[in-house]
Amino acid sequence: MDDFELLPFVEGKGVSFKTPPPVSFEKYFEHMEMCPPETALMYGLHTNAEIGLGTQQCEYMFDMLTELMPREDNGGGDTEKMRNDEMYISKVVGDWNIKEKMFQLIDIKDKINPEKGPYQNVFLQECEYMNYLIEEIHRSLIELEQGIKGILTISEKMESLQNSLN
């Protein structure tokens, strides 16, 4: 293993890290500490991969920082805020009456020509998918309302929904 390249993908790129000659245990540690910093080149990737990684890490960090920022408070205490949130979510669930917004598929099918074409079939499928979405929105709002009232434990998804509604 004399002069064996430990970074095989960096040949001709100006970076090299070869095995040391037989030395003492401490010298091996010293040699390992001299290793160049980790780059995309070490794995045979293009340098743009490193740029993409840095961009992703930066976006993730800023997303976390914005989530940690304090939200606006109306000056009241936590209990007052909880009561206000409870009233607001109850109002949203009650006012939206989202179940009434569902498509009545039976009525729609009756109004469509019995010889349905591909466009009519796609339209009916989209109406059905929208009904599933409306049901999920309604279920999520009810669940959030129960979480704020203390019936359920508020999960991360419920908190995210609450933040989106405020």
| Look-up of token digits 């940690």 | 68
- Smallest CA-to-CA distance from 145 within 63, 82, 74, 103 is with 82
Q: Using an 8 Å Cβ cutoff, are 89 and 144 in contact?
A: yes
| Look-up of token digits 């160049």 | 36
- Smallest CA-to-CA distance from 28 within 41, 38, 40, 19 is with 19
- Evaluate if pTM is beyond 0.75: no
Cα gap 87→38, rounded to integer Å: 53
Phi, psi of 5, deg, nearest 5: -75, 120
pLDDT at residue 26, as a whole number: 87
pLDDT at residue 24, as a whole number: 86
Per-residue model confidence as pLDDT tens for the chain (166 residues) = 567 777 666 666 666 667 777 888 888 888 888 877 777 777 777 778 878 888 888 898 888 888 777 666 555 555 565 566 677 777 777 666 777 778 888 888 888 877 888 888 888 899 899 989 888 888 888 888 888 888 888 888 888 888 777 6
The residues with which 89 forms a beta bridge, in sequence order, are none
Burial level of 152, CB count in 10 A (0-12/13-18/19+)? Answer: middle
pLDDT at residue 79, as a whole number: 57
3-state SS of the chain is: CCCCECCHHHCCCCCCCECCCCCCHHHHHHHHHCCCCCCHHHHCCCHHHHHHHHHHHHHHHHHHHHHHCCCCCCCCCHHHHHHHHHHHHHHHHHHHCHHHHCCCHHHHHHHCCCCCCHHHHHHHHHHHHHHHHHHHHHHHHHHHHHHHHCCCCCCHHHHHHHHHHC
**What does the chain come to in residues?**
166
